[in-house]
Structure 1
């Protein structure tokens, strides 16, 4: 009888362990990984990078900048620019961290041509990746302390704007350091950009979900959903639609969590504000 009780106890313990790990991040050798909670799916997403405001009724998922605070009682994702600098920190990087900026042959920092206030970070060596991870790690810690549940790491595809100085392997190696830090803080972490690298990003880096901008317009939603299944969030913009937003929502390739926003992501007190969802 005692052996039967012991066996039943062990079985119950095993079930409990499996249940507890259902939302845990992928652990790596030597890494202490906290449990993470994945974003709700499907969800009604409001993308609030331009302004943080009270979410409309029915919203169940919000993304805000790392300088903001989470939306009360709503799962909130923290936006972090993991591979380029933020415009407001331009002088700080030039003054104190210029050696961590990717430079051209003349020693000038390389700028994102579409975002001229953003410098590319130099992820080309392990030493620089370690230092960069310390800097971004402090931002991730702030996200966790403020109560965010997850982070989305922007500009994974910066190697495509690096004039051949960076490779996808460089950025995936850096993303791995950021994923380890996020998971250690109990934060889920989302892949942003480089849809074609989703399999490696998930399996090698440890990304938990994908956060896409305009995957319908660029016909790459399937590259994310083939890997992350239902855990894909997508934002389309009013100035760059294929057909109408109704067409986007009717397309079976569009993620269930798809939102329409104005390009500048302004708040509802601005006449240019647009918000809709599938």
Structure 2
């Protein structure tokens, strides 16, 4: 068992939470019991994940997507009331880490996706590595756009939406997990032949074609499953607590 305050302090320090300006609350979002021996991780604090936590007897839920987003309604009604009731009635802690988890040099979503895809990381295009969100690197073998899409499908278990804006060999790849499609111009200007993120907008297709850069929308959820698992395993190794990851299917 570990004290809640000790657990949170360790995560905050490792992820350098104070260095980020985010549009949600990073850290403890809902307070539960003081001692934690079992922690359940997942991408999003949806009702299905909370129900799994209760059934397993977790002391804390740790997610990438929690609550209290900028501009969301503040009233605790309907869906939000049911979620909060589950947490409070079962004395469950909810901790959430958004941008700090995307950016972390080894545990972060971008770091995990790069390793999974076999990319040699070179630099970050919007800050220093470990702080910025748009990463740049090279594939470990020669690929064209369709071969890169096939590698993504094999690695993530879902078919990416492919916009073939670049013709020929992919020498430089940029990536940012989640909903970062509007970073496409920055990736193109930096010399990327392909850019991978989770989501796509209508405008993204035209931008990729006209800028000559391949775009792959691999799924917001699918590209952000690894970071929270890595963080959970890091906590397990450091404090000897039980960790379980639950993947609530999401095609988006």
Q: Normalization by structure 1: what TM-score?
A: 0.28
The structure that has the greater radius of gyration is 1
Q: Normalization by structure 2: what TM-score?
A: 0.30
